[in-house]
Amino acid sequence: MRRALLILVTLCMATLVNAQGVWPDHPITMIVGFPAGGPTDLAARSLAPVMQKLLGQTIVIENKAGATGTIAAAQVKRMPADGYTLFVSSIGTFVVAPHLMKSAVQYDPMKDFDYISLPFQAPNVLVTGPVRPERSVSAVIDLLEKNPGKITFASSGVGTSDHLATELFWKQTNTKGVHVPYKGGAPALQDTIGGQVDFFMTNINAVLPQIRAGKLHPIAITDNKRSPALPDVPTFEESGVKAMEVYGWQGLVAPKNLPTDIKQELSLAAIKAMQDPATVNKLQDLGITIVANTPEEFFAFAERENKRWEELIRSRNITID
């Protein structure tokens, strides 16, 4: 009787699979919420080659930039939850923009997506150009205390991880500088090198070439440990400032209500992609930390990040204007 029941269940499952078709039986679209060439695009192009080999189907990458990834996110939310649409975007899309652009954001990042995996993250590094003499966190704090509201800090835009890291630094040290938002990281970087702004706290991978070339001086990183890419640069905690762990991160999600088996298969493929030796070596050389976590771990992480940055945005009265 028990054996007959098992056979019946197996036949029912086979019938269900045949009725639904074998997934994937046509190309998968991976939508990227930012332009080609940035860290979010890097995440997608690191994932796609290995994932498509493992899944046995082509993955087509589409860059749909605009409004910190929120336009693409709203589009993905409305797509069928069939495993043929994936979305790669950043901390800004998932846990920052919803608190800064409440009237414009047309999705709930905690309710409208199935979280698949967090491929990687990168800490920020506080840098200054060759003009300023400060080479330690204590020296920067001393400068801010002696010149309240006068020392400039660049960012690649309001609500970016570099902006939030700067605000957190001021909060944790009870200091205040002048926030200078730019339209992207490139002009902020150039003005820091040129001395038009005093400091810049941005993703480590964005400034490693300039640091290695001696054009920028690193002061501290927002990680819980030193980076292999900058082993001589201390963390903020080592420098006496606690709770300064800040990461720029990119995540892989899909429209909500993805079938469980497809979600699991996508997650395993994404994790495997981030274990590819060539990919690991390339990313680590950029100062990027491989995460490659499970859907449950990624969702829990995103919830913590969502609450953390909502509180900072509210307490610091940060607005998009």
What pLDDT is stored for residue 6 in this prediction? 39
Q: How far apart are CA 285 and CA 212, in angstroms?
A: 12
Q: How far apart are CA 211 and CA 269, in angstroms?
A: 35
- What's the whole-model pTM score? 0.87
SS3 84: coil
Cβ neighbours of 1 (radius 10 Å): 5
User: Which residue in this structure is represented by tokens 């990458």?
Assistant: 61
What pLDDT is stored for residue 321 in this prediction? 57
Bridge-based pairing of strands 152-155 and 199-203 is parallel
Beta strands in the chain (DSSP E): 28-32, 59-63, 85-90, 113-128, 152-155, 178-181, 199-203, 217-221, 247-255, 289-290
pLDDT, tens digit, for every residue of 42-64?
Answer: 999 999 999 999 999 999 999 99
What pLDDT is stored for residue 2 in this prediction? 43
Domain ranges of the chain: 24-121+248-315, 123-221
What pLDDT is stored for residue 287 in this prediction? 93
User: How does the average pLDDT of the chain come out, rounded?
Assistant: 91
What pLDDT is stored for residue 67 in this prediction? 84
Contacts of 108 (CB under 8 A, 6+ apart): 98
Contacts of 79 (CB under 8 A, 6+ apart): 85, 255
User: Which residue in this structure is represented by tokens 């400068």?
Assistant: 143
The rounded percent of the chain whose pLDDT value lies above 70 is: 93
The rounded percent of the chain whose pLDDT value lies above 90 is: 82
Of residues 277 and 20, the one with the higher pLDDT is 277
Fold of 123-221: D-Maltodextrin-Binding Protein; domain 2 (3.40.190)
Q: How far apart are CA 209 and CA 136, in angstroms?
A: 20
CB 272 within 8 A of CB 54: yes
Examine domains 24-121+248-315 and 123-221 and report if their fold is the same.
yes
Average pLDDT over residues 64-91: 94
Instruction: Check pLDDT > 60 for residue 131.
Output: yes
Q: How far apart are CA 101 and CA 204, in angstroms?
A: 27
What pLDDT is stored for residue 80 in this prediction? 97
pLDDT, tens digit, for every residue of 278-303?
Answer: 999 999 999 999 999 999 999 999 99
Which tokens belong to 46?
């690191």
User: How far is residue 131 from each of residues 128, 135, 198, 223, 230, measured CA to CA in Å?
Assistant: 8, 11, 8, 26, 21
Average pLDDT over residues 255-268: 97
Average pLDDT over residues 1-5: 42
Average pLDDT over residues 207-218: 96
Of 9-18, 65-74, 241-250, the one with minimum mean pLDDT is 9-18
Average pLDDT over residues 23-39: 92
pLDDT, tens digit, for every residue of 99-124?
Answer: 988 888 999 999 999 999 999 999 99
Architecture of 24-121+248-315 per CATH? 3-Layer(aba) Sandwich (3.40)
Angle at 156 between CA 198 and CA 292, to 5 degrees: 120
